[in-house]
Chains A and B, each alone.
Chain A
């Protein structure tokens, strides 16, 4: 019997932790879409879940996914096409799971590769922030240059929310940035 849970996460590590908590309770994720998770009953703690932001060209991506399969990990949902949609922001988040009986499951096991993964996430947020801030300021500028005409009020109506959205992405990037700094400091003293 499947169970649907509607929930939304900003922090992928919290999402991952939640999926593993659900798995520990005997609910294994089998399918997901925007803020919607479908679970199926399974043995308690049968699977370990991991999330990854992929940034590879399609050829390399299929190479990588095959590599993951070889190591006993499977994509959720099973047999998903190479480009699984997960968020509006980007389409390359993937969820993997592996049977806990095969031992601890981690995608990144050393500091360098963890930093790289966080940096990918950070870059996505920053590019989105930059894009929104540029579009937003452009709208505000247009409005200020054309104070005489009422039609340019539309630029204000468009510009302000877009700028707010841009700031939102900056805000999202901050915790990721802190994690990168923490790992880099760690790397100064140990591998």
Chain B
């Protein structure tokens, strides 16, 4: 999953947005998939290949981090970083602007 090279203003994919939100609580891959499905009321089903790629990109970017698991724990657990949280916040501001303008111009409380 490619992310925009512009960290500040680029839109996140909805997958990445929900992955970041999920990782406010430490989780492993399968847990993230389940949680994203739950959050989006079954609408967003992350493919395992897509999620795997997104997780490695997000770790590279420093938006999430790998938790040092126990020796015997085979499943990798991830958690959001402070940088990741600030990315989510600026995304929320961006989404807010989109919604506000939509409501203002098109009207209706969608």
Task: Find out whether the CB atom of B49 lies under 8 angstroms from the CB atom of A108.
Answer: yes
Task: Find out whether the CB atom of A117 lies under 8 angstroms from the CB atom of B28.
Answer: no
Q: CB of A146 within 8 A of chain B?
A: no
Over the window 16-52 of chain B, the binary record of Cβ atoms lying under 8 Å from chain A Cβ atoms (1 yes, 0 no) is 0000000000001110010000000000111111101
Over the window 45-85 of chain B, the binary record of Cβ atoms lying under 8 Å from chain A Cβ atoms (1 yes, 0 no) is 11111101100000000000000000000110000000000
Least distance between A139 CB and chain B CB atoms (Å)? 40
Q: CB of A31 within 8 A of chain B?
A: no
Q: CB within 8 A of B47: which of A64, A66, A106, A191?
A: A106
The chain A residue sitting closest to B2, CB to CB, is A112
* Tally of contact residues, B, Cβ under 8 A: 21
Give the CA-CA distance A103 to B47 in the complex, in Å: 12
Q: CB within 8 A of B14: which of A64, A72, A108, A191?
A: A191
Task: Find out whether the CB atom of B1 lies under 8 angstroms from the CB atom of A66.
Answer: no
Chain A residues, CB < 8 A from B47: 106-110, 113
Q: CB within 8 A of B15: which of A66, A104, A110?
A: A110
Counting contact residues on chain A (CB < 8 A from B), the size range is: 20 to 34
The chain B residue sitting closest to A66, CB to CB, is B74
Q: CB of B13 within 8 A of chain A?
A: yes
The 7 closest A-B pairs by CB, nearest first: A109-B47, A107-B49, A113-B50, A106-B47, A112-B2, A71-B48, A70-B30
Chain A residues, CB < 8 A from B30: 70-72
Chain A residues, CB < 8 A from B33: 71
Chain A positions 101-123 with a Cβ under 8 Å from a chain B Cβ: 103-104, 106-110, 112-113, 116-117
Q: What are 17 A-B residue pairs whose CB atoms fall within 8 Å in the complex?
A: A64-B52, A67-B48, A70-B29, A70-B30, A72-B30, A107-B50, A108-B49, A108-B50, A109-B50, A110-B13, A110-B50, A112-B1, A112-B13, A113-B1, A113-B47, A113-B53, A117-B49
The chain A residue sitting closest to B32, CB to CB, is A71
Interface-central residue, B28, B30, B48, B53, by most chain A CB under 10 Å: B48
Interface-central residue, B14, B30, B46, B47, by most chain A CB under 10 Å: B47
Q: CB of A52 within 8 A of chain B?
A: yes
Least distance between B77 CB and chain A CB atoms (Å)? 12
